[in-house]
Structure 1
């Protein structure tokens, strides 16, 4: 298969970066393991041998977990590779499929035995790419926990939503110790932030804005998206926290009426500069406080959707919204 040709390249890039390639000891974790997977339980009799991942945030998570050399295919990152953080050569060597929204056939062409994706992050009934269909083809899946709200009610969003993903992936791939250490570090850092932001006298109004470079309706976030959670933990308040969903289209008129004091701009395939130029030039937004005061926070896609980069974003957001609480 074509993706297998890339595996020596990825391995070589990892060696050049000085990263250890020795897999976790076979007896470091016993199998089978079971993990919660949306509203079902998934059982794995061993670590995936040919894993694939879709979308930028989940690719970043796999990179940070040290799983780059195991991947046989990556999709959904075309045009956004510059935002992935890894040692030199790693991202360029990823066995990338060109599809931003892959079909079932495209996924199967890579011959994976496992896919990490999410609803609206790759999984899509209309394209026939679903965990159930992949299971029929012998491909196991793990679904991004935040995205489960697209197919049914889940628990309210929290950092535990992210931690559940990391701990599940750790068990699936036999690197539970690594994942647990990462989660412990994240818990410590989040607690350090919220100890301070919890004392804030005021919580500024914040809006997340994606596709904000034209007159078309922008994409924002309701209270069940990771970006909304980060706003709250950073000491802000999501102006659309009355919407019980994750990412949603809103109107410019409603955005102006709710008058955010800060706007989080997504820096993804459309550069953040393009969105900020539009926001500053749109007549209907001239009286919005964030626009008048040019108060923008730029986040990458991996920072504002569930991934191992969320805590980095939280720390930066908190310092921006509440500089008075943080010593230089």
Structure 2
């Protein structure tokens, strides 16, 4: 009987192996013959994507969190057993010295165009790179940002690490949770005008049409007043903000200047006194990890959607 069963099983075609897999990373196709075993992620939001997929056992460390003061308690527990290899952007030597075989980063998220650490400079050392989709605008034309970009990164990481089913279930859960939350909300007659205040006083660093806050704002029912800024994150003059008169200001909270200090600066500056958001005290604080691509974008949409409908 056992022999007969063995013979029968031998005739059943085995499922195809998951590898090799090829994913699109900005303007490159990257092929993986096996799942990475010594991965490094840069920045808090990219690291949280790795944690959401349960990939800490495939990691040798992370970079670029404490130097920007973006670490919070929720992440601290998740990376407790992993070393931070560099407080800010890592050098090539740091990645090579850690024995990395994979670097999850982005342009201005651990890599700079023409810099020391790029997919091309790491390739000779056997370190493959997957680039954060939001950051691709720095090296290629692309469509306007949407929530799909964050989902795309999770799904691609699922393929790279051989956890496609987990990634698909995670993304489906995010889609469902967001749809279930938004469906019963009161409709907004006109999309509220929203401005994103990241940092700066003499000039302001803000989110354009290719930065994640634009997708968050639109999913919540608003419109980014800098939607015509053909960049992801960029510095602009305050004149354009005053002229466009936002009804709501989103404060990105991180670094040495607190959200409270940023709000106080806007409230105390006579140039902003007639701005609707300032007059009506309509400020919404998003943590850095909520405003950049990652799992907490879902909570950010919910928080902003509620604020846009508040009377």
**Equivalent residue number for residue 112 of structure 2:** 124
The answer (yes or no) to whether the contact 2:44–2:71 under 8 Å persists in 1 is: no
Note the 1:157-168 alignment, pairs <5 A. 157-168=145-156
**Equivalent residue number for residue 149 of structure 1:** 137
Deviation readout 1:110-152 (Å, 9 max, x if unpaired): 2200000001111113431111111122101100011111101
Deviation readout 1:180-205 (Å, 9 max, x if unpaired): 00110111123335545693212111
Note the 1:84-99 alignment, pairs <5 A. 85-86=74-75, 89-99=77-87
3-state secondary structure, aligned to 1:141: strand
Listed as ranges, the gaps of 5+ residues in structure 1 are: 1-26
**Equivalent residue number for residue 302 of structure 1:** 289
**What is the CA–CA distance in structure 2 between the aligned matches of 1:188 and 1:323, rounded to whole Å?**
24
**What is the CA–CA distance in structure 2 between the aligned matches of 1:115 and 1:322, rounded to whole Å?**
40
Equivalenced residues, count:
295
Alpha-carbon distance, 1:99 to partner: 3.1
1:244 corresponds to 2:230: yes
**Equivalent residue number for residue 259 of structure 2:** 272
**What is the CA–CA distance in structure 2 between the aligned matches of 1:156 and 1:209, rounded to whole Å?**
20
**Equivalent residue number for residue 44 of structure 1:** 32
Note the 1:107-118 alignment, pairs <5 A. 107-118=95-106
Q: 2:210 aligns with which of 224, 227, 243?
A: 224
Alpha-carbon distance, 1:169 to partner: 0.3
**What is the CA–CA distance in structure 1 between the aligned matches of 2:310 and 2:280, rounded to whole Å?**
16
Note the 1:1-328 alignment, pairs <5 A. 30-79=18-67, 80=69, 82-83=71-72, 85-86=74-75, 89-195=77-183, 199-212=187-200, 215-270=201-256, 271-323=258-310
**What is the CA–CA distance in structure 2 between the aligned matches of 1:97 and 1:159, rounded to whole Å?**
30
Give the structure-2-normalised TM-score. 0.88
Bigger radius of gyration among the two: 2
Give the structure-1-normalised TM-score. 0.84
- Return 140-149 or 274-283, whichever deviates more: 274-283
**What is the CA–CA distance in structure 2 between the aligned matches of 1:323 and 1:283, rounded to whole Å?**
26
3-state secondary structure, aligned to 2:84: coil
**What is the CA–CA distance in structure 2 between the aligned matches of 1:166 and 1:28, rounded to whole Å?**
22
**What is the CA–CA distance in structure 1 between the aligned matches of 2:184 and 2:214, rounded to whole Å?**
18
**What is the CA–CA distance in structure 2 between the aligned matches of 1:231 and 1:198, rounded to whole Å?**
16
Listed as ranges, the gaps of 5+ residues in structure 2 are: 1-14
The answer (yes or no) to whether the contact 1:146–1:225 under 8 Å persists in 2 is: yes
3-state secondary structure, aligned to 1:189: helix
Deviation readout 1:49-96 (Å, 9 max, x if unpaired): 10000011101111121112322121110153542624x743333310
